A = this chain, B = another copy of it.
Amino acid sequence: MGSIRDPSTMPLAAYLWRRIRQLGVQSVMGVPGDMNLELLDYIDSVDGLSWVGNANELNAAYAADGYSRVKGCPGVLVTTMGVGELSAINGVAGAYTENVKLIHIVGTTGTRAQKARAMIHHCLGVDPDHRIYAKVSESVRVAHCWLDDSRTAPGEVDRVIRECYIHSRPVYIFVPMDFVHVPVPAALLNNPINLVPKTDSEACISATNAVIEKLEKYSAPAIIVDALVHRFGATGIMNTLLEQLQILTFTTPMGKSIVCEDKPYFYGVYNGQVSLPGVADAIEEESDLVIDVGFVHSDSNTGGHSRNMPSTEQCIRVAADYVQVGHARYEGVYLVEFLTRLSSSLTTSPASHLTTHKRRTPTLPRPPVPSDADSRHITQSWIWKRIGSMARPGDIIIGESGTAQFGFSDATFAAGVRYITQIYFGSIGYSVPAGFGAAVAQGEMQNEGGRTILVVGDGSLQLTVQEIGTMIKMGLRNVIIMVINNSGYTIERAIHGPEQGYNDIAPWNHQLLLSAFGLNSSEVSSRVVDTKEGFEEVVLSPEYTALNSIQLLEVMMDRMDVPWRLQAQIDLINERNARMKMAESGR
């Protein structure tokens, strides 16, 4: 900087940030550190790109995850070698396993110090390998690069960004301090990065035909729409296709809110044996063809692995990068490309012939009336449906791991409500920073009146609470934080040790949190409710319906009350374990 620069070049850091801006990214998460400060200097030079600055690096990673889930582009975070990089790794791992696009940029020591294996702060031990941390993160990324050669660096940036999209997973970019300012050709920016995977078009045609054949052959098809549809940016084409097909449609706990829930063909959440009455039967017994799109077959997304699918011949699986029709697998067929082709095939071929006779409208049994339906107090059987029904198009709901995650499967969302939760990785503490990132993204999308409704238990809140301060620092006005106060780790009490001390937590005064984290006292609005009536009064008040300041609502609930779905999954797993033990001891 400062030296005369060839106008056909730009500093490498500027190149990196412009590439990132081209993806649609407007906010960069992270924590400053002496090895990334000069890198951060270049953010301001890019129109429309801003630094956020989180309270810590784990929170930054979660925030980037939440941001990506709302905007569709990658979430970006910047950390410092070692100390920051490792602090973030759990958030990156969550993005990896849940297929969220993340670009983790790490500012490192200069290459001279690396070669000398100098004992610089943040290194490990004597004669330290400064690049050892890049090995630590191998399992939680799909690509990485070191920007340590000005000739290859722009290409490396482009390569890893492409990989981030193709796999919808995290990538790492390591930037040694002495390469921040090196000149690279500016003209490279004019060629956009190709972010589209290369689908094998012949395989794609074959897969499409095979699917159409199946649809012709079977008379009672059903479709399950799952999380990867969202992650690979296929939500729009998926809903177009559903409109064309009009077949019985379900979603999963992780896929919830992808499908417009007010459609006549939508029949709720399928979660194996942990589903509302009639749901599992409608798929497992009454359908003769099941299309499983963008599936994630993790335990809590399949009722503890309790699905009983029809025979392989009667199943179609649409994965991120292949389609399996019966026993035939079509490799190199990517999700968006496949759904797009299938949709256009249905337009040109007589789609009505394929689908109209399959328009089933079964009537599922009414869900049982909970025994505590008349309770004045706020119950698990009531709260999730009620939060679901308060959400309006444009709102985002974040459900923390724990009771919220199990409970929200019972809610019905209006079209245009986004729901975010981390079920497969299931890291408690995710929701507060992810909610922050989601709210930032919501603000950028100029979604007037859109609210981010963050629902977190008192236990999970403790892990990442300081990100409330970042919400306040950024002046967010679109966030409602609902703290489910049930005196500790209720989900764990349900699993084991209901009275054990390890399921207790430090008893905080939640009503003071907004003020402690810097919200101006004239703006502060923290409330506590312990009855349904009180809850109604608050959420129907103008402060909540015409949200103009961050709000915190503490919802008092019984410490041993749990969603029926949680209890059902626990019972199912306990029974299975008991059976296995019996079988083993009988050997």
| A interface list, Cβ under 8 A from B | 31-34, 37-38, 40-41, 44, 51, 53, 55-56, 58, 82-83, 86-87, 89-90, 93-94, 96-97, 112, 118-126, 128, 132-133, 135-140, 296-300, 305, 423-429, 462-466, 469-470, 472-473, 489, 491-492, 495-497, 500-509, 512-513, 515-518, 580
Closest chain B residue to A50, Cβ basis: B501
Once bound together, how far apart are the Cα atoms of A138 and B136, in whole Å? 8
Min distance, Cβ A424 to any Cβ of chain B, angstroms: 6
Closest chain B residue to A85, Cβ basis: B90
Given A32-B502, A466-B465, A466-B466, check contact A124 B112 (CB 8 Å).
no
B112:A87 contact, CB within 8 angstroms: no
Min distance, Cβ A508 to any Cβ of chain B, angstroms: 5
Once bound together, how far apart are the Cα atoms of A140 and B465, in whole Å? 27
Given A41-B497, A299-B121, check contact A508 B502 (CB 8 Å).
no
Min distance, Cβ A299 to any Cβ of chain B, angstroms: 5
Closest chain B residue to A120, Cβ basis: B299
Once bound together, how far apart are the Cα atoms of A296 and B119, in whole Å? 9
Counting from the closest, the 7 A-B pairs by CB-CB distance are: A473-B506, A469-B506, A86-B90, A512-B516, A83-B427, A121-B426, A56-B463
Min distance, Cβ A310 to any Cβ of chain B, angstroms: 21
Closest chain B residue to A510, Cβ basis: B516
A505:B473 contact, CB within 8 angstroms: yes
Q: Which residues of B contact A55 (CB under 8 A)?
A: 462-463, 506
B506:A427 contact, CB within 8 angstroms: no
Q: Which residues of B contact A427 (CB under 8 A)?
A: 82-83, 87, 122
Enumerate 8 A-B pairs (CB-CB under 8 Å) in ascending A order: A37-B500, A53-B504, A119-B299, A121-B424, A123-B424, A508-B517, A509-B515, A509-B518
A508:B516 contact, CB within 8 angstroms: yes
Given A32-B503, A518-B507, check contact A121 B425 (CB 8 Å).
yes
Closest chain B residue to A471, Cβ basis: B506
> A121-B299, A132-B139, A136-B139 given. 4 additional CB < 8 A pairs?
A37-B495, A55-B506, A82-B425, A121-B424
A428:B463 contact, CB within 8 angstroms: no
A489:B32 contact, CB within 8 angstroms: yes
- Which among B90, B512, B513 is the interface contact of A87 at CB below 8 angstroms? B90
Once bound together, how far apart are the Cα atoms of A19 and B423, in whole Å? 36
Q: Which residues of B contact A298 (CB under 8 A)?
A: 119-121, 123
Given A427-B83, A428-B83, A496-B38, check contact A505 B53 (CB 8 Å).
yes
A516:B516 contact, CB within 8 angstroms: yes
Closest chain B residue to A119, Cβ basis: B298
Min distance, Cβ A31 to any Cβ of chain B, angstroms: 8
B502:A34 contact, CB within 8 angstroms: no
Closest chain B residue to A427, Cβ basis: B83
Once bound together, how far apart are the Cα atoms of A83 and B91, in whole Å? 9
Once bound together, how far apart are the Cα atoms of A126 and B294, in whole Å? 12
Once bound together, how far apart are the Cα atoms of A305 and B120, in whole Å? 9
Closest chain B residue to A401, Cβ basis: B121
Once bound together, how far apart are the Cα atoms of A96 and B82, in whole Å? 12
B136:A124 contact, CB within 8 angstroms: no
Q: Which residues of B contact A136 (CB under 8 A)?
A: 89, 136-137, 139-140
Once bound together, how far apart are the Cα atoms of A85 and B513, in whole Å? 28
Once bound together, how far apart are the Cα atoms of A495 and B94, in whole Å? 33
B305:A118 contact, CB within 8 angstroms: yes
Q: Which residues of B contact A40 (CB under 8 A)?
A: 497, 500, 502
Q: Which residues of B contact A121 (CB under 8 A)?
A: 298-300, 423-426
B492:A34 contact, CB within 8 angstroms: yes
Closest chain B residue to A521, Cβ basis: B509
Given A83-B90, A470-B506, A502-B32, check contact A426 B37 (CB 8 Å).
no
Min distance, Cβ A97 to any Cβ of chain B, angstroms: 5
Once bound together, how far apart are the Cα atoms of A38 and B463, in whole Å? 22
Closest chain B residue to A93, Cβ basis: B86
A464:B90 contact, CB within 8 angstroms: no
Min distance, Cβ A486 to any Cβ of chain B, angstroms: 15
Closest chain B residue to A302, Cβ basis: B119
Once bound together, how far apart are the Cα atoms of A519 and B580, in whole Å? 48
Once bound together, how far apart are the Cα atoms of A19 and B502, in whole Å? 21
A506:B502 contact, CB within 8 angstroms: no
Closest chain B residue to A113, Cβ basis: B299
Closest chain B residue to A426, Cβ basis: B121
B497:A37 contact, CB within 8 angstroms: yes
Once bound together, how far apart are the Cα atoms of A137 and B86, in whole Å? 10
Closest chain B residue to A423, Cβ basis: B121
Closest chain B residue to A92, Cβ basis: B86
B51:A501 contact, CB within 8 angstroms: yes
Min distance, Cβ A558 to any Cβ of chain B, angstroms: 20
Q: Which residues of B contact A82 (CB under 8 A)?
A: 90, 93, 425, 427
Q: Which residues of B contact A135 (CB under 8 A)?
A: 138-139
Q: Which residues of B contact A428 (CB under 8 A)?
A: 83
Q: Which residues of B contact A497 (CB under 8 A)?
A: 37, 40-41
Min distance, Cβ A409 to any Cβ of chain B, angstroms: 15
B424:A119 contact, CB within 8 angstroms: yes
A506:B518 contact, CB within 8 angstroms: yes
